Each structure stands twice: as C-alpha cells, then as structure tokens.
Structure 1
Amino acid sequence: MKCRNEKGLTLVELLAAVTISFIIIGVIYAVLNSVITQSKSDMARKYFVKEQTAILQYMERTMENIDDVEPDDESDDGTFTRFKAVAINIDVAGDGTYQKSSTDKTIAVSDGNLSVGGTIVNSDEISLDGTTFTVENGSLICHFVMKDTQNHFEKKIYASYKLGEEGDQ
C-alpha cells in the first residue's frame, strides 16, 4: 500500500484560491467605489442647497426694510440685473420735527456673482449668470438662476420682496 503525502496544496488549488480572492476583492472595491462616488455627489448637492439658502437669506435680510428700487440697466422687457435698493428713514430732529433721509445699496449680478453693496454674496463655485430682477405690483421679483460650476447642478428660484413703507400697504 502506498501512502500519499497530503501536506501541501496543488497548483490548481492555489490558483483557484487566488482567483476567488481576486473576485471577492474586485466586488468589494466596486461597492466601495460606488459608495464613495455617491457620497461625494450627495455632499456636493448638500453644499449647493446650503449655498442657495445662504444667498436667499442674505437677500431677505437686505430687502427687509427696502421701500423702493431704482434699476440701473432696465431692458425693454422690464428686466434688469443692477439696481439701487432704497430705504427711506424718518428721524425726529432735536426740535421735534421729522427729517426724511434715505440710504441705498447697489445690488448687481455681473460676471456670475451677486453683489450687495460691493460685497459678493455667492462662493466661487456658484454662478448666478442669467439672474434677473423685475418690479411688479409694488414687489421686487427676483429670478435667480444658480449653477454649481463644478458639479453641473442648476436651480431656478423665484423670490418676491414687497416694497414700500409700512403705512403705504
């Protein structure tokens, strides 16, 4: 009777084990790569929404006490991309008389940036090209076109801000 030495692996067994290991590693890599790609996309979309919210909140605070707008570049269809937001202030002077004064901020969209009083509101990754403003029925209507230039997201948002003094409403 012959006795066989079964202490080692054959070449076929070794190749089968390596092949199975590579298949398992390939599947794990594909799943991890997919999860990482999806996570980056989700983070980019969340950042885009966060930027939209920040821009809209900034405009909301800016337009809070605005009584009138004076367009600088109004086109034939009534749209404009640059205007002065005017707030009329009434102060009581030392002699008891009322003094009327006004303050204004220039709001403009140029080169893809929204600037309020010279301060750029959006980040470098967000473009507002295509954004326009109109005045209708005593309200400033903002047609925002926000684009994420790196991830190719785009969102159109319409916002309305009532103009005029509280006593006029």
Structure 2
Amino acid sequence: MGRGRRAGTACARPGRRKGTARCRLSRSGGTHATFSEGVLRPRESNRQGRHLASFALLLCAEEPTHGLALHRSINKLLPEGLKVDVGNLYRLLREMEARGTLRSEWSTVGSGAARRVYQITPVGLDELADWREDIARRRQAFDLFIQRYDALPARNARALKESAK
C-alpha cells in the first residue's frame, strides 16, 4: 500500500482514497473537498464549471436559495461568455449535498410548486474558506502574468533595437 494510505477508507470523490496526499481534509473522517497537489479541484473539469462550486457555496452562504434562483444569480455575476448550464448546476447541487457541503429542505412558501432550498453547512463553510484561499493564490499568479504580459512589447522592442546595433 502507498505511503499515507489507510486501508478501507474511500474518499467522497470516486477514484480517491482518504489519507493520501491528494485528499487533504480526509484525516478528520468527514466529508470533504478533494485536493490535487495542494490545489482545490472541483469535480467539473470543463472551463464553464471550473469554479461553479465556489459560486454556489458563496451564494448559499449569503442566504439560503433554491436552484433556479441560484442559477440566475450565478449567471448575473459571471462575465459574458461564461454562463452556467442549469442541468450542470443541479447535478453539482446534488453532489454537494451528498458530500455534506450543502443541505436542502423543501419549501412551500408562496404560490406555485414546492422548491428545494439549499443552505450551506459547516463543512461547506470550511470548503468555501479553502476556495477563497485558492482563488486568492491564483489571482496573484494571474495578476503577475498580466503584468508581465503587458510589459512584453516594450521588452521585445528593446531587444530588437539592441540586436540591430
């Protein structure tokens, strides 16, 4: 058995095992987010849903909400071209509830059909804090990239002038 693994403990994410370096929060024995090389990786690997879980947790932390309202709120927040598919969101909400980051209750407030209202849990608040830390780290790297990229034309012009001498 590999270093750091415990027999018989399965991670909440298929294909992972508790106690491995890829599963940072598993030692507590609870439901948890999955980490890969120290960076929180949501289940969705496509660009559209890469940070969908972070937005869902954030908005549910602000106030309990039902799926369709959550879908509308996320799409209002995201820049043009990064819209979320409602089916992907509902799939994610079910997965997050299974992991214990969200809980839901049926609500019959107002007219119309009953709605499933999602609320963040203590496990979800921990995962939200991890998302915040991860996004802040990535933002620093992206800011550095943009700064260096914006400086490229000046660097290239100087190099061309010097090589022409």
| Common topology (TM > 0.5) | no
Work out which structure has the larger RCO, using CA pairs closer than 8 Å and 6 or more positions apart in sequence.
2
Answer 1 or 2: which has greater strand percent: 1
Given the two structures, how large is their TM-score scaled by the length of structure 2? 0.26
Answer 1 or 2: which has greater helix percent: 2
